[in-house]
Amino acid sequence: MVTTQADWSLDFDIGMNFFEWHAPVPLAHEKGIFTRALKFLTNIQQGKPARRLNWTMTINPRLDTSPENYHKWGTDRTTVTPENVGDKVHLRVELQSFWRLPRSNALVFPIRCYLIKMDELVTQPKWARRFHRVLRDLPQQLVDYKGLTRYRPTVIEWLSKYDDGAPTSPGFGPD
């Protein structure tokens, strides 16, 4: 199995510096996130890999959502209905690892993708509650950036029946 990055293009980004590469990400620059991220990356030591998680949503269980293949997956976003949300819409989580190489001091940046369709996610009540709230409260700039604009209201409405108003922990895992 081959996995790939979500919605960005290595071919397009080659030659850009760290800040140019991340320029399209809304809100993060103003909050200093990428300055802190660059500091984090430059401090990774050999033999002490680091990792982070990133998330987005994907329609259908498709791993390659690169811009080069938009013609294959882009129209899927128009096919979400209240009746098929549970099966078509997937939370996509990327486990991104950072490994410092010994001779070159370069960073290796493998990405491992995990997909879970909404029907499976809601089998865990805490996950369903939490994801409903995250998606509902996501700033519009990030909704647009992540490409969720067209189908987000449908997913929020569908998830709302799983949110009983109970408190939830900050993460998706068990308390």
Catalytic positions, please?
52
Q: State how far the Cα of 99 lies from the Cα of 50, in Å rounded to an integer.
A: 7
Backbone angles phi, psi at 108, to 5 degrees: -95, 140
Give the three-class secondary structure for 112: strand
* Nearest C-alpha neighbor of 4 from the set 68, 88, 98: 68
DSSP 8-state symbol, 165 = S
